[in-house]
Structure 1
């Protein structure tokens, strides 16, 4: 099993997919409790959802499940959302606040560091390499970090999550033109709701790589899973819902691609 996969293209867009993987090494899987073994907090079908939407796009996807180590968390363990419920570099609970490890099997600090070196670091080395390759080719790279989550999780947020949650860390991780184009496409998507820098302002990946002054822009898209799949086990991909959503994602990626190629971001 590869820790990550890279599908290399020649577009200025790079799709990051840190949470779609379901691989858990056998020794770690044996320590998960019955709740943890469901892997419920996966960004289910995220690669399938984005497949074929933009010609020449680069994809960097982790194959390792976030319960092994979360590739979208600060490797130093710093919270993304101080004072709010969230999960850690190696989660101890699921998104509902329920334990995921057998009693006495919580990972130690040494084990967390070993997992970081084995899984977190290689994924990010690959992502960094692709962003720099694309930036060197075009003068600009846009990291579009692909995420999804259940639309109702009281432990993490109140009420119903909007269909599109756009995160730019309050505009810090990308040029204003990128945020504006994304906001416009989502606002014009009939029958869908959207928010910018709401509950999800961009994870560690978006915040870490988003350096507009260095020619690398980053934006996170957190989709409500109700827009394309069944939100409870067995987490089935729903073709009719996905087929309605995908054209909007395609329009968005094409607009960002055109924006990057127009040299508007390199002036």
Structure 2
């Protein structure tokens, strides 16, 4: 199996001729475990045909910048790590292909559409807005059906194919699979979601769609590994998980999928996207968390499959 080449500098790139390799894939560098992890929103290569009409700095607010770097120790403990190269604002791999706002299109979509709450918020499969309340529209034009279909074919579909291959390969070999869907969240997450609350945003939010996509034991193992290192952890508040874990998580079949959101204030300057002084300490803590999760997965496997 070939692994698409990574963006070697991990720096943001504008106007990249396309199509380019839609993801990077790091396979286990230790004894393989059925622990498959992905960072669908940390891509920083912006296709040349994007055609956005707002300042680039505003567009970048959608990035989960450097999340895959924070979790870079995962392959070293036996996990697989998949990371998108393209930005979610161009096409979002954590959405279903029917999650499109028809008002964004220049002509009727040729099949059924199912716009979700994410589309209402302007962040469906194809993002409409780069900020809350529709104040930062991304386009000053309608998108053709053909260009949206091309984005799906070049980026969204290959990402999902790679994820499916890793998940099913692990499941076929071990009879079980544990999946971490890795993200970061802005400090104003409650406000952006239209939620009025005085609660502070936790350092980490774990989403299992109200207990439906992962076993309580897996969710608790992740929560306890984080709390042991001094982080505050919330469950499904305010993020429950979207398309990827909904599609993959079937705990009754030993298919466990959990979304993990980290507060951006722990590791970056949200205005500049630059790593902050806390980046190294957080990365080191998540290395220890990865080691604990590998041990948890090992403990869940029958002796003969380890």
SS at match of 2:293: helix
What is the Cα deviation at residue 110 of structure 1? Answer: 4.1
User: If you compute each CA radius of gyration, which structure gives the higher value, 1 or 2?
Assistant: 2
Match of 1:207 in 2: 246
Farther-moved stretch of structure 1 (159-168 vs 65-74): 159-168
2:287 to 246, 250, 254: 250
Following TM superposition, by how much is the alpha carbon of 1:107 offset from its aligned partner in structure 2, in angstroms? 2.3
Give the conservation status (yes or no) of the 8 Å contact 1:143–1:219.
yes
Offset of 1:58 from its aligned partner?
0.7
Please give the per-residue CA displacement for 1:158-217, whole angstroms capped at 9, x wherever unaligned.
Answer: 464211010001111111210111222233332x32210111001211111112233321
CA distance in 2, matches of 1:248, 1:140: 27
The aligned runs of 1:10-25 (5 Å cut-off) are: 10-25=32-47
- Counterpart check, 1:237 vs 2:237: no
Superposition map of 1:117-132 within 5 A: 117-132=153-168
- For structure 2, list consecutive stretches of 5 or more residues without a partner in the other structure: 1-19, 100-113
**Normalising to structure 2: TM-score of the pair?**
0.77
Equivalent residue number for residue 64 of structure 1: 86
Q: Does 1:220 align with 2:259?
A: yes
Inter-partner Cα distance in structure 2 for 1:242 and 1:42? 16
Counterpart check, 1:40 vs 2:80: no
Aligned residues: 261
Distance (Å, rounded) in 2 between the aligned partners of 1:46 and 1:26: 24
Structural RMSD (CA)? 2.5
Cα distance per residue 1:1-48 (max 9 Å; x no partner): 3111211112221111110112222121x3332257642210011121
Task: Provide the secondary structure at the position in 1 that maps to 2:45.
Answer: coil
The aligned counterpart of 1:115 is 151
- Comparing 33-42 with 124-133, greater Cα deviation is found at 33-42
Specify which of 145, 169, 180 is matched with residue 220 of structure 2.
180
- Tell me, which stretches of 5 or more residues in structure 1 are unaligned? none
Give the counterpart of 1:98 among 111, 122, 135: 135
Report the alpha carbon displacement of residue 102 of structure 1 after superposing the two structures with TM. 3.8
Aligned equivalent of 2:4: none
